[in-house]
């Protein structure tokens, strides 16, 4: 079976706080390392009451310090919010502290609404070419250019794999042109997934980092002891999706019985487009196998927005066990 990885937002649950969220994230990464997951990524979001991973590189340092072998990375850093030099220095610091374990995924969305985006950047540049230029600038800081007055120290000369993240064809095209691995946000925006995969693979140009295309896909999975429990656990994520799309984001809410069935039809239609598997181990395994066969994914990034931390651990543990016998002795990963 292909490698499985974890995407975590350090969710702030109702009645919880960011400190506990970070401790839970680190605990999850420690368990994931033992269960055989390949990567543990955190995502940059801002001004969201249910997400603690805003200062992503700081949170990643805390998680990396509590683990030994699992790859740690950003899925992703929203590069328009930052000067490329700052990100090169931050991830150069992480790679210097935890050599051979750091990934850097880059996205071009702000990870927030327009008001917070303005507070972050002050100048909302609408030039679509700015993101590709920033990516190349960042890559050059890691490569190091003789005679340059501006250097990323730490960062220069370090081998930090860069990924392009996307939920549209733009990211697929850029990743293909630059010869970088591509991670598609199919866990919340799957509409253009198949087309983006085709564009990326058909247009891919080999690079120093990667000699053939590599696709990682986001996938929501909620594994319970039964189909009923798995679907019940998933309702926290469904509530978060509806609340966010309604313009009223909240901390992650407790699960609710029959939440999906009681929703208005327009919300059920929207949630039906979110790639997810919820149920017993056998139900989730079948869904994942069908998804991988349909997409040809090289790796899955599993997201599980589950309210109760122990239930979230159990879900990831059950998922890891589903494919343990099929896993290769050495995970085929884009880590160099």
pLDDT band for 333, please (50, 70, 90 cuts): very low
Q: How far is residue 131's CA from residue 113's CA, in Å, rounded to a whole number?
A: 18
More confident residue, 48 or 27: 27
Contact yes or no for 67/33 (Cβ under 8 A):
yes
pLDDT at 9 (0 to 100) = 92
Average pLDDT over residues 145-162: 91
Lowest-pLDDT range, 15-29, 47-61, 266-280, 283-297?
A: 266-280
pLDDT band for 271, please (50, 70, 90 cuts): confident
Find the angle CA(146)-CA(148)-CA(152) to the nearest 5 degrees: 95
Structural domain 4-326, CATH architecture? Alpha-Beta Barrel (3.20)
pLDDT at 280 (0 to 100) = 96
Instruction: Please report, for the chain, the start and end positions of each structural domain, with discontinuous segments joined by +.
Output: 4-326
Average pLDDT over residues 257-268: 86
The values of phi and psi at residue 113, to 5°, are -90, 175
Helix 56-65 to helix 18-35 angle (10° resolution) is 50
pLDDT band for 323, please (50, 70, 90 cuts): confident
Contact yes or no for 32/3 (Cβ under 8 A):
no
């Amino acid at each position: 079976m292909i490698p499985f990885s974890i995407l975590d937002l350090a969710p702030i649950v109702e009645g919880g706080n960011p400190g506990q969220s970070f401790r839970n994230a680190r605990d999850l990464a420690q368990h994931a390392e033992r269960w055989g997951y390949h990567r543990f990524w955190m995502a940059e979001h801002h001004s969201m009451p249910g997400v603690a991973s805003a200062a992503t590189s700081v949170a990643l340092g805390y998680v990396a310090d509590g683990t030994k072998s699992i790859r740690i990375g950003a899925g992703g850093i929203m590069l328009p919010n930052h000067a490329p030099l700052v990100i090169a220095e931050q991830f150069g610091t992480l790679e210097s502290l935890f050599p051979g374990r750091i990934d850097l995924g880059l996205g071009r969305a702000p990870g927030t609404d327009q008001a917070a985006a303005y507070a972050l950047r002050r100048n909302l540049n609408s030039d679509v070419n700015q993101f590709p230029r920033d990516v190349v600038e960042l890559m050059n800081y890691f490569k190091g250019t003789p005679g340059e007055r501006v250097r990323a120290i730490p960062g220069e000369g370090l081998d930090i794999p860069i990924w392009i993240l996307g939920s549209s064809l733009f990211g697929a095209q850029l990743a293909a042109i630059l010869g970088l691995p591509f991670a598609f946000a199919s866990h919340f925006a799957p509409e253009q997934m198949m087309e983006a995969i085709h564009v990326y693979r058909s247009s891919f140009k080999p690079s120093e980092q990667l000699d053939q295309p590599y696709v990682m896909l986001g996938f929501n999975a909620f594994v319970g002891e039964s189909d009923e429990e798995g679907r019940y656990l998933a309702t926290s994520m469904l509530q978060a999706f509806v609340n966010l799309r309604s313009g009223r984001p909240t901390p992650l809410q407790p699960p609710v019985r029959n939440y999906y069935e009681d929703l208005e039809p327009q919300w059920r239609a929207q949630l039906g487009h979110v790639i997810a598997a919820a149920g017993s181990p056998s139900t989730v395994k079948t869904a994942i196998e069908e998804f991988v066969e349909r997409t040809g994914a090289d790796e899955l990034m599993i997201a599980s927005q589950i309210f109760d931390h122990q239930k979230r651990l159990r879900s990831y543990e059950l998922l890891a066990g589903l494919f343990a016998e099929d896993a290769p002795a050495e995970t085929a990963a884009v880590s160099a």
